[in-house]
Amino acid sequence: MFVDKETYERAGLVGKPYGAKSGRGSKPRWVVTYNLRDPSMLRGHKGYDRLIYACKSVFTQPMTWLFCNSTTQTPNPDPLQKFSPTACTSTSNISQDIAVLQPSLDVDPEVLSENDRESLEYFATEVYEWLSLIRLGSSRVEPRDSIDPYLSRYSVPGDDPKESKVCKLSWEGFMSAQWLRGLLMDVLVACPSRTWVSLSATSFSRSVSGNSDDLTILRPPSAAGRYLMWETKSSD
C-alpha cells in the first residue's frame, strides 16, 4: 500500500519512505507491505492484529482487490461469494499473418564455442528489442516501414533480414505461474521443432511509477533444446 504521511501515522503500520527525499512539490509517501501467507499472519500476533485495526479504523474506503484461483477446483462453499465478486475471464487475442522483417534468431556457433559473452549479450539485446517491438505491434519491424530517420533510427538487426509472417496470441489479466507454465509446454509441443517460439509475461506493477517485471523465453529455430531467457526487474 502507498499512503500519505497522515494516513501512515494514523494506521500505525511498519513501512518505509518511498521516492526521493525532500522532493519539491511532492508530498512524502510511505510504502507498507504485508505477506498475508506468512505464518505470523494469525490472530493474536502483534503484526496481524495491528493490520486488522488499521483496516477497521483507518482504511475505511472500499477497495478493489484481484484474486486469482490457481486451482482446478473451487471450494464449496466458495469463501469469496460473501464479498459479491465479479468474475473475469481472459480470452485470447489472435493476430495472424503479421508481416515482419525477421533477423537471424540463431546464436552464432562460434560465439558459444569461444564463450564470447560480449557478443552473446549484444545478440541477445538486439533480439529482445525485436521481440518487444512485435509485442507492441510496432511498424518498425514491417518490411516496408518508411519512418523518417529523424523520428526513429531503429532498423532490424542483421545484414540480411528476411521477410516473414508471425502469429501472435495475447492474454491480458491475472494469470498464475502454473497457467503460464502449462501454456509454454502446450506451445512447445504443438509447434514444429524447426520453428521459433517466444513467450513473454509481464507482472502487475507494484509501484507508483508503474514499472513492472518481465520474463521472455525464446526457442530459436532448430535449437536442439536450447533456449534464451530474458528476465528484467523493475528498479523500484
SS3 at position 16 = strand
Does 29 lie in the same domain as 117?
Answer: no
Q: Is residue 87 part of a domain?
A: no
Give the pLDDT mean for 199-207: 83
Does 202 lie in the same domain as 106?
Answer: yes
Does 110 lie in the same domain as 201?
Answer: yes
| Enclosing domain of residue 21 | 2-63
**How much is the pLDDT for 206?**
65
Number of domains comprising the chain: 2
Does 200 lie in the same domain as 110?
Answer: yes
Does 115 lie in the same domain as 196?
Answer: yes
Give the pLDDT mean for 163-182: 91
Does 58 lie in the same domain as 150?
Answer: no
Does 227 lie in the same domain as 113?
Answer: yes
Does residue 23 register a pLDDT over 60? no
**How much is the pLDDT for 208?**
58
Cell numbers given for 28: 512524502
Give the pLDDT mean for 61-82: 80
Give the pLDDT mean for 102-128: 92
Does 114 lie in the same domain as 53?
Answer: no
Considering the chain, what percentage of its residues have pLDDT values greater than 70?
93
Q: In 3D, which of 34, 29, 35 has the Cα closest to residue 16?
A: 29
Distance separating alpha carbons of residues 157 and 89, to the nearest angstrom: 38
pTM value surpassing 0.85: no
Backbone angles phi and psi of 115, in degrees to 5: 55, 45
Does 113 lie in the same domain as 50?
Answer: no
Give the pLDDT mean for 2-23: 81
Sign of CA dihedral 107, 113, 114, 116: positive
Position with higher pLDDT, 146 vs 20:
146
SS3 at position 218 = strand
Yes or no: say if 235 and 211 are a contact pair by the CB < 8 Å rule. yes
Cell numbers given for 25: 512539490
**How much is the pLDDT for 58?**
92
Does 59 lie in the same domain as 98?
Answer: no
Does residue 24 register a pLDDT over 90? no
Does 224 lie in the same domain as 160?
Answer: yes
**How much is the pLDDT for 76?**
84
Cell numbers given for 41: 499472519
Q: What 8-state DSSP symbol labels residue 107?
A: P
Does 11 lie in the same domain as 126?
Answer: no
